[in-house]
Each structure stands twice: as structure tokens, then as C-alpha cells.
Amino acid sequence: MALQRHLFKKALKEAQPRLSHPLSSLCSSSLSSSSSSPSPSAEAPPVLPPFDYHPKPYNGPLADEIFQKRKKFLAPSLFHYYQKPLNIVEGKMQYLFDENGRRYLDAFAGIVTVSCGHCHPDILNAITEQSKLLQHATTIYLHHAIADFAEALASKMPGNLKVVYFVNSGTEANELAMLMARLYTGNLGMISLRNAYHGGSSNTIGLTALKTWKYPIPEGEIHHVVNPDPYHGVFGSDANLYAQDVQDHIDYGSSGQVAGFIAETIQGVGGTVELAPGYLKLVYDIVRKAGGVCIADEVQTGFGRTGSHYWGFQTQDVIPDIVTMAKGIGNGLPLGAVVTTPEIASVLSQKIQFNTFGGNPVCSAGGLAVLNVIDKEKRQAHCHDVGSHLLERLRALQQRHEIIGDIRGRGLMVGIELVTNRKEKTPAKEETAVLFEKLRELGVLVGKGGLHGNVFRIKPPMCFTKDDADFLVDGLDYAMSKL
């Protein structure tokens, strides 16, 4: 992170003359473009699509005061986006508002967490009404909210994935899944992919395989196999060769028996990397023959975001033994879950397994409302429709700008990798930092990922529209034209 901050500051200092156009012209109402429309000229920056909502006047502390207090009282490991951090004070559906009432297109959804939209009325109502009655009691008493939510969630799962454990985050979910795998199989060895992110706790940090997120602590029995990355991977899109590496690790790096294998279907923090087609089916078979269970990390890919399927693992035509989820499950609530089979779930009954806040009435009511909104508003089909439009426009943009090395993903989980040399795929670190700031000036908030921070992560709330997609692409075109 220190290196990234150094490069970021250096790039901004060098690029400052290019970032000096006035912002006032960017705050007017929008005329959106279609996929067949020409990109805006270099003299006319794009403007946000119209949105019939006015934020409430903000009278609270301003960004500078908050930033000073944060630096004084909060952990120094916290990082922030942008040279001048944004003070976001209100959100509505796919938009955020700063302390001055300026509107931004949120193309990152609170790090892929706001699934249905900021302050969605149906979800707010469910949370509010439950809060009036009972906020907390734990599972030592009965309450219908957790049972109703578990039933609804189990109905979304294939096969015999019918038992639900509620937790508070994706890290907790993956921690519990690893515990289940080890107890059920009687083995210790876990396998995860290089470039993976599965959490930052003392155990899940071992599953994570990005040096920027790892501390030098013991990781236990964890093996990191070659990442089946079609763009950067040594075997291209050849799933068979990547799967052979898993077999080699079992044969040469273990007793021949393993506890489990865990993977994201589309790696999130790692830069929106979709696994080589057919990879999981081959690896699941290898792992199960070695006595292990297969875990799908759906923290970012779940709940229809990929458009083509409700769950990311379905894009690889597999059924896991354990599925972990968080983020979009609660639309911003601290909520996660592990879903598994009755047989695997039974191993936890050997001892007391308890989570104080997991499945509390408020989060359960909110989580059930999320599932209902996704169904009622047909958000999976919407992600497919809008995501296809976005990808089509981005691939056209790739033909105009050499800096775009790769466009990848599906639905509303999209990655844009920036390079200085398409043949060598050299990370465009400094250019990414400049474009990141330029997009913010235009009113677009995106995420960054990949080991070198040179991948823009486009993962907005699932109410994101085609007009929003056009504005985002036009903004990228405008910003890249100014490099």
C-alpha cells in the first residue's frame, strides 16, 4: 500500500496541469447517449443522466474536520480513495451525494455491497419496522425473521445445500467454511487460488493470495495453486492444464488427502478475473477424490450480479459442498451466510457453535427484503441486459484507446485492465491513478483492483441503467482522450 500511495502521489503531481479544468461545468443535468451515439468531443465532458431526487441539506462536519478526526482516532491501516477524500453524506439508488450536494454515479456499490440500491425503500421499511419491535435477542430464543430468511435463502440454492449459518461478514463466512471443511473431512490442507481474496482475519488471510493484503504470520496448511486467468495465466484459457496443477499440489505438496478447495468464480479484489471455462468442474472432481470438499466464495458474485446466473458457480456448471456469501446479501447491512448440506453442517454439533449477532432480527428482515426486491424487480435479468450493453460499449472503447488491455466479466461485474504495452501487458499504474481522479471529477466513482491496482472495477448497484453505463463509458473516453 505504501508503494501504491507513492506512485499515486507522484502521478498526480506530474499530471496536475491536465486535471485543472473547472468542475462547475460537470454538475449540470444530463442528456444520455445510446450505444450507437458518437462519444463526446474532447471539448465537451459528459454529464450525469437526469435523476429526480434532491438530497437533504447537509449541516454536519465537513471533510477536512472528519479526516483529521479519523486520522487521530481510527486505525492507521485504513486507506481512502482520492487525493482529497470525499465526504459522502447521502445515497439514493445508484447515486451518492457529497457534503455540497453534488451527485456521483456509484459504480462500485460500497465495494460490491449495495445490491438493490442505496436506501431502497422496501429494504429500509423492513429494517425500520423490525427495529421498532425487536432489534436483538440471539438464537437462544425463537424468532420468525431468521427462520423465514433461512428458508428463502435455502430455496435459492441447488442440490442439497439446505442448511444456513448466519454471520456478519464474508471473512467470517469463509472462516466458518474452512472450519467445517476441516472438521468434516478430518484433514487440514486447504487449497486456494493465487490472486484470490477471501478475507483478512488471522485464518482467512492464509487463503488470500495477494501480498498487498497479507501480514507475515503463520498460515497453516494452505496451498496456493496457479490461477486459471485467461488474460495473464501461463496456460491461457486451458482449464485442463490449470487443473493438473491442482493435482500436482495434492500429489507432491500434501499427504494425498486435503480438507477443501475454495475459489471465487470471478475474483473481485484480484481485478475481476473470471476463471477459465470448465476449470471448476475439473478441480471439484480432483479435490473430492482427495477427500476434500469444494467451497464457492459468492461474496461478490452472488444474487444475480453476473446476469447469466443467480450464483457465480453456476457459470461453471458445478454444485459446491459449501457456499459462502456476504456483501450484496444485506444491501449494506453487516450480514453474511454459509450454506451447506445437512451432513457437513452436522459436524459443528460436536461442540457449541454460536454467533451473537448472526441472523439478528433486523439483519434477517433486511436480508429477506433484499431477496424479495431482487426477484420483484428482476435484477438478474436487468444485470444481464445492462451488463451486455456496458461490455459492448467498453469493447468498442478498447478499439479507440491502446491503454485498455482487457475488458472482462459478465453482468454488472466488469473489469477494465489498463496497460502501457498490450503485448507485454505492463500495468499502467500511474495512468490508472490519473484516470481514477479524472473520473471522480466527472462524477464517476469506480473501484480499483489487481495486484498492481491497474484494473478499474465496475460493480455498481444492480439498479444501474443503460444511461448510467453510457455516461460511464463516455467519461472514460473523455478522460483517456486527455492523457
Q: End-to-end alpha-carbon separation of the chain, Å? A: 24
Return the C-alpha cell found at 138. Answer: 440471539
pLDDT of amino acid 42: 52
3-state secondary structure of 331: coil
Question: How far apart are the C-alpha atoms of 364 and 372, rounded to whole Å?
Answer: 12
Question: How far apart are the C-alpha atoms of 205 and 200, rounded to whole Å?
Answer: 5
Return the C-alpha cell found at 472. Answer: 460511464
Task: Show Cβ contacts of residue 436 under 8 Å, excluding neighbours closer than 6 positions.
Answer: 81, 82, 446, 448, 456
Do the Cβ atoms of 308 and 411 come closer than 8 Å? Answer: yes
pLDDT of amino acid 343: 98
Return the C-alpha cell found at 277. Answer: 471455462
pLDDT of amino acid 43: 75
Question: How far apart are the C-alpha atoms of 89 and 99, rounded to whole Å?
Answer: 6
pLDDT of amino acid 8: 43
pLDDT of amino acid 41: 46
Question: How far apart are the C-alpha atoms of 393 and 340, rounded to whole Å?
Answer: 39
CA–chain centroid gap for 256, Å, is: 33
Q: What is the DSSP letter of 57?
A: P
Do the Cβ atoms of 305 and 462 come closer than 8 Å? Answer: yes
Do the Cβ atoms of 47 and 30 come closer than 8 Å? Answer: yes
Report the chain (483 residues): mean pLDDT per 10 consecutive residues: 43 40 33 38 84 97 97 95 97 98 98 98 98 96 98 98 98 98 98 98 96 94 97 98 98 97 98 98 98 98 98 98 98 98 97 94 98 98 98 98 98 98 97 98 98 98 98 98 94
pLDDT of amino acid 345: 98
